[in-house]
Amino acid sequence: MLATSRSAMQENFGDRTERELTILLYHGVTNSPSAGIENYSGKHIPADDFAHQMQTIRRHCTVLSMDDIVELTLSGKPFPARAVAVSFDDGFANNCTVAAPILDDLKVPAVFYISSGIVNTTLMFWVDELEACLNLTQASNIALALDTPRTFSLAAREDRIAALETIKQFCKRSPSAVKNRVLAELKTATGVAPAVEQADNYRKITWDQMRTMAENPLFTLGGHSLYHDILSELPPEQMMRDVNLSIDLLNYHLDRPIEHYSYPEGQAHHYNDAVIDVLKQRGIVCSPSAIHGLNSAGTDLFHLKRVMVGFLNCPFPFIHLVG
Amino acid sequence: MRRRRCLPVELNLADELLAPLEQLWRQGYVRLEDGIFSADEIALFRSESDRLMAQVHPWSERHANYGPTDYMLPVFGDRDWSVLINLAGRSAAIDRMLEKLFTHPRITALLEAIMGPGYKAWEISIRRSNAHDDGLRLHQDAQGEFGLSMLLLDNPGATGTTVFTPGSHRFPISARESGADYLAPKYMSRFVQPASGKAGDIFLFFKKTWHGRLPSRAPQPSDALLMGLFPVGYQFLPFRPEAATLQALGPELQRLLDPARQLQAVAERRCIVTDTAGSTTYDGPPRLIDHLYQPAPLLHPLRAAKLLGKSLDATHRLVKTVRAMKKRNSASL
């Protein structure tokens, strides 16, 4: 889940990918058909596309693990040519059931940043709840109070996407209480009770799946907050509790130390020095942002940029290498 | 237009959280049906609890062989009911599910609205109401104590499960003062509502709400997970898990049960819950439970009786009935 502008995310990096580190950012990889506007944003990219992308980087790039990146950075060495790493945010079940087998077949290392409080639950992220409401409703239009009272037509697919985008953007710039109010009113207006059973892509990873992944030396598991709350917006004590418990839960269930993390939402205003301090106190060695961009050697390991792929038509940055 | 809330405090929560809190405040208990655990998890919980509850020791051993704060106690019981008093640390599978329960955002949001952050756990137990259970009289528990219970078996009826007198958490009279605790369980059914539902249903309740258990003649026992929690600033007598037991628990269970964290001794064996900075004075966001312990009468019994859904003076009759029984019994002695 991210709030970078669309145009910025579609930036073409040209030949900078030859000498700078690219960290690819995915959320999900899917082989499930989507009905209506479910996954209209491309948050979960098709398995075939993902396999082609992984084949491309395996063949033409130097694929690094996050541990490799930490080691190179701390030792002051430059990144190799066309250095690339693969990362996943949030903790969708298809990370394990669809993406991991492809990565394992191609021997591509990857890091999975998991919001540990949602593992093994039927909870949905609020953006998925919005999508489900507008996708599954029988209503042809709805009235909703955003900053002003609004009526949204839901007659055509494009109308539903436009409504979803408008409501989502309003919620992203509003306090959580307003977001909760809008979400509750949307559920009432649409008559839809969102549930993970409504789409395979909504399902969350389980601890058993994570334990299986943790056994694979290709895969690194990291934290991503407890419930995907924006860490910079939490009161200091609550932020500390969130970060600590998110790491402790991973330690407890996976029985191994956790050294990697990423910030929910991940834009510059979604984390701060206080968050980074707590992460460092807990032994976290690297926490990339979701700010769109590449990384030159020596970039601070707590301010690394990433390149979103698929989501809102963000292009795969090595598309020019695809045969 | 937002509906006016009946809660005594302003809580900045989503409607789906405010609705159960309103019901809790009105009735003294509320059922959550939204399935924290899957059917497979409930089945695993059930099979593990069956294993743990297999061997029952007589209650006479409780104080003869064990101290008041000993943690690893056997299952105690009699023909009516049996209980495994301290559950955490007995089964890795159950420990993981308890960790899930106490880190589930819906549960933590509700518990924090009720008790504020930093609450501690006193007892996490499994209670089995046996076939031919004679029940448990209406009572109230310690000041500040809050209950969380989960059915481990489907129980659509009223027997073998906890029952509550709706609204009694705000009566201006205690169960003992009213004489309600004198009423034999077989006479309680007119005044109570059962914690019935499906396996996995969770009940939150103020332990100030008059509660007990109706006699059971069901052919099968009925099991429930029962917990007592205490907020910052309230006192209880904690159990003392061994270090190895604690270290094997998940992070939130450790925090809830560790006697070395957030507890300060205030009297012989009694502790007061502190916040994470060590203060016994709660200064966090408003919490619902504090409003139960204000001196002014909170809810008139006749008004509370409406909540029973029966006659308007049900609660009044309860008090009169009990007093008459007491008088008759004392006259016959």
Domains, in order of start, for chain B = 15-332 (2.60.120.620)
Q: What is the pLDDT of residue B311?
A: 40
Assess whether A75 and A17 both reside in one domain: yes
Say if residue B282's pLDDT is above 60. Answer: yes
Handedness of CA B98, B103, B105, B110 (dihedral sign): positive
The answer to the question of residue A1 being in a domain is no
Mean pLDDT score across all residues of chain B: 89
The answer to the question of residue A267 being in a domain is yes
CB contact under 8 A, B103 and A226: yes
Among B5, B17, B100, B101, the residue to mutate for chain A (most A Cβ within 10 A): B100
Assess whether A118 and A10 both reside in one domain: yes
For residues B162 and B3, which has the higher predicted lDDT (pLDDT)?
B162
Mean pLDDT across the stretch B228-248? 96
Say if residue B173's pLDDT is above 60. Answer: yes
What tens digit of pLDDT does each residue of A268-288 get? 999 999 999 999 999 999 999
pTM for the full predicted model: 0.89
What tens digit of pLDDT does each residue of A49-84 get? 999 999 999 999 999 999 999 999 999 999 999 999
Q: What is the pLDDT of residue A2?
A: 46
Neighboring chain A residues of B99 at a CB cutoff of 8 Å: 249, 252
Assess whether A19 and A115 both reside in one domain: yes
Domain count for chain A, please give it.
Answer: 2
B283 Cβ under 8 Å from any chain A Cβ: no
Query: Secondary structure of chain A in the HEC alphabet?
Result: CCCCCHHHHCCCCCCHHHHCEEEEEECEEECCCCCCCCCCCCCEEEHHHHHHHHHHHHHHCEECCHHHHHHHHHCCCCCCCCEEEEEEEECECHHHHHHHHHHHHHCCCEEEEECHHHCCCCCCCHHHHHHHHHHHCCCCEEEEECCCEEEEECCCHHHHHHHHHHHHHHHHCCCHHHHHHHHHHHHHHHCCCCCHHHCHHHCECCHHHHHHHHCCCCEEEEECCCCCCCHHHCCHHHHHHHHHHHHHHHHHHHCCCCCEECCCCCCHHHCCHHHHHHHHHCCCCECCCCCECCECCCCCCCCCCEEECCHHHCCCCCHHHCC
Say if residue B238's pLDDT is above 90. Answer: yes
Q: What six digits make up the tokens of A226?
A: 């407890």
Distance CA A269, CA A219 (A): 29
What tens digit of pLDDT does each residue of A149-167 get? 999 999 999 999 999 999 9
CB contact under 8 A, B104 and A252: no
Q: How many CA atoms lie within 13 A of B144 on its CB side?
A: 19
What tens digit of pLDDT does each residue of B180-221 get? 888 899 889 888 999 999 999 999 999 999 999 999 888 888
CB contact under 8 A, B14 and A183: yes
Residue A141: give the domain boundaries: 126-194
Assess whether A11 and A44 both reside in one domain: yes
**Domain end position, chosen among A194, A222, A241:** A194
Q: What is the pLDDT of residue A3?
A: 45
Assess whether A286 and A219 both reside in one domain: yes
The answer to the question of residue A311 being in a domain is yes
Say if residue B317's pLDDT is above 80. Answer: no
Q: What is the pLDDT of residue B2?
A: 46
The answer to the question of residue A181 being in a domain is yes
For residues B196 and B307, which has the higher predicted lDDT (pLDDT)?
B196
Among the residue ranges A196-210, B17-31, B309-323, the one predicted with the least confidence is B309-323
The answer to the question of residue A289 being in a domain is yes
Assess whether A64 and A138 both reside in one domain: no
B90 Cβ under 8 Å from any chain A Cβ: no
